[in-house]
Amino acid sequence: MSSEIVQVQALVIGSGPGGYVAGIRLGQLKVKAMVVEKAEPGGICLNVGCIPSKALITASKTYDKLKHGADIGLFADNLRVDMKKMQTWKGEVVAKLTGGVRQLLKSNGCDYRAGTAKIVGPGTVEITNGASVTTVTAEHIVVATGSRPIEVPGFPFDGKRVVDSTGALAFAEVPERFVVVGGGYIGIEIGTLYAKLGAKVTVVEALPSILPGTDPEMAQLVARKLKKLGVEIVTGAKASAWAEKDGHAVVTLQVGSETRTIDTDKILVAVGRRPNSEGLGLETIGVTVERGFVPVDRALRTNVPGVYAIGDLVGQPMLAHKASHEAEVVAEVIAGHHAEMDVRCIPAVIFSDPEVATAGLSAEEATRQGREVKVGKFPFAALGRAIANADTDGFVKVVIDAHSKEVLGVHIVGNGASDIIAEGALAIEMGALAEDLSLTIHAHPTLPEAIMEAAKASLGEAIHVVNR
């Protein structure tokens, strides 16, 4: 067994969208830093999460559009899915991005090591990679180890019948029947993509509706589209067990007081994620861990001086872009700059059909805070670009303070929402007023015009819908 001792100013454990961004920014700030990763550079997001899922979602959307091309005068003969080819293309997308991570770290002067890291004492970490052990001493340790899918009783992941999101994004062929346990954003995104590729999909959700925590009006629109795609949604239901039978799986559900069974080929369990806080040696140096999460202050500092945590490990929302922003903040803090997490909103996107994107407060949340609000709403059905796209399901809501006219929230359901929500986030972050959005000239015909029109509607000045 070989050994090595290395000294750095900052060691980052994990190379996901939190860890690798921290490494890059530390390098830019001339802090001698190292990033260590036990799997592949880029973490869950780039390798088996955000990026590959969106690649497959894009492919499934294209296929679905082609199937309905006759509606707009386009006829595709012998249309078919080659799942192996699609997986190859997805792999190329992933490889392009993950390959760039190491190069970016190197170009910014940050060392990258492969191996499993464990804190063994104050400012001391051991990195094990096969027979090699590297001892790293660091003034600052940033823990950015992310999260993993939650298993549920009766459905241990076996990679064959029962899969997590990683397994579901790696199918060599489209399953004929597909049960999704969990109607949150991961389950709905993956369930939708396979429904479009031809699978008979059943979504099982324990709560009364899918996409819990989402504006009910938006969730209902997604549910209606799922039904059009032939997806069965079973709410108020709990998957209790499954069994192998005659070459397929049989899933048992408890729906109220009734028991029901569903035949399927694959089962995706997507009921949430849990933080990766075990086995890191956090307890060795006294870092507080609560229900798996690591509490931090606004500067991402744990209770132990010199130890920081970012990303999924520190709690909701478990979003890649939140981790990346925290990474930049923690790098600034380590470099001695005054920085902290000071954000008015963190936008969130669900890549369903139609897409859902939100930034800031809902009208209900703002009202609970004691604010009087006005809401402007503009439907995609009245938007020229959406009509020309042959994709008019959805709307934009802009929530403003009734007195100051400050923009409090922007909520979008409709395809293209993921691309236009950034304008809403910028408006909230800069403290914009409804007039700032309504008086900004938006190019025509484009989807962001819907934000301008919704802002006008909140003021009673909408042009292309009747003002309420």
Please, what is the average pLDDT of the chain?
Answer: 96
Q: What's the pLDDT score for residue 131?
A: 86
- DSSP-derived pairing of the beta strands 248-255 and 258-264: antiparallel
Residue 337 has pLDDT above 80, yes or no: yes
Are the C-beta atoms of residues 325 and 344 closer than 8 Å to each other?
no
Q: What's the pLDDT score for residue 4?
A: 86
Average pLDDT over residues 369-375: 97
Q: Which residues contact 275 (CB under 8 A, 6 or more apart)?
A: 145, 146, 147, 292, 293, 294, 312, 313, 315
Q: What's the chain's Rg over C-alpha atoms? A: 24
Catalytic residue among 68, 325, 444, 464: 444
**Alpha-carbon 28 to chain mean position:** 27
Q: pTM for the whole thing?
A: 0.95
- pLDDT bin (cut points 50, 70, 90) of residue 451 is very high
Whether 444 sits among the annotated catalytic residues: the reply is yes
Residue 271 has pLDDT above 90, yes or no: yes
Residue 74 has pLDDT above 80, yes or no: yes
Burial class of residue 369 in the structure, from the number of CB atoms within 10 Å of its CB (0-12 exposed, 13-18 middle, 19+ buried): exposed
Provide, rounded to the nearest whole percent, the portion of the chain with pLDDT above 70. 100
Which token pair is 360?
């800031």
- pLDDT bin (cut points 50, 70, 90) of residue 2 is low
Residue 91 has pLDDT above 80, yes or no: yes
Backbone torsions φ then ψ of 466, nearest 5 degrees:
-75, 125
Residue 53 has pLDDT above 90, yes or no: yes
- pLDDT bin (cut points 50, 70, 90) of residue 424 is very high
Which token pair is 418?
């993921």
Summarize pLDDT for 232-248 with one digit per residue, the tens: 999 999 999 999 999 99
Q: CA angle 31-33-36, nearest 5°?
A: 160
Helix (H) or strand (E) holding 437, with range, is helix 434-438
Helix (H) or strand (E) holding 386, with range, is helix 384-388
Q: What's the pLDDT score for residue 317?
A: 96
Structural domains of the chain, with CATH:
2-149+274-334 (3.50.50.60), 162-271 (3.50.50.60), 348-458 (3.30.390.30)
- DSSP-derived pairing of the beta strands 132-143 and 307-309: parallel
Q: What's the pLDDT score for residue 468?
A: 80
Summarize pLDDT for 166-208 with one digit per residue, the tens: 999 999 999 999 999 999 999 999 999 999 999 999 999 999 9
Residue 281 has pLDDT above 90, yes or no: yes
Residue 98 has pLDDT above 80, yes or no: yes
Q: What's the pLDDT score for residue 25?
A: 98
- pLDDT bin (cut points 50, 70, 90) of residue 1 is low
Q: What's the pLDDT score for residue 3?
A: 76
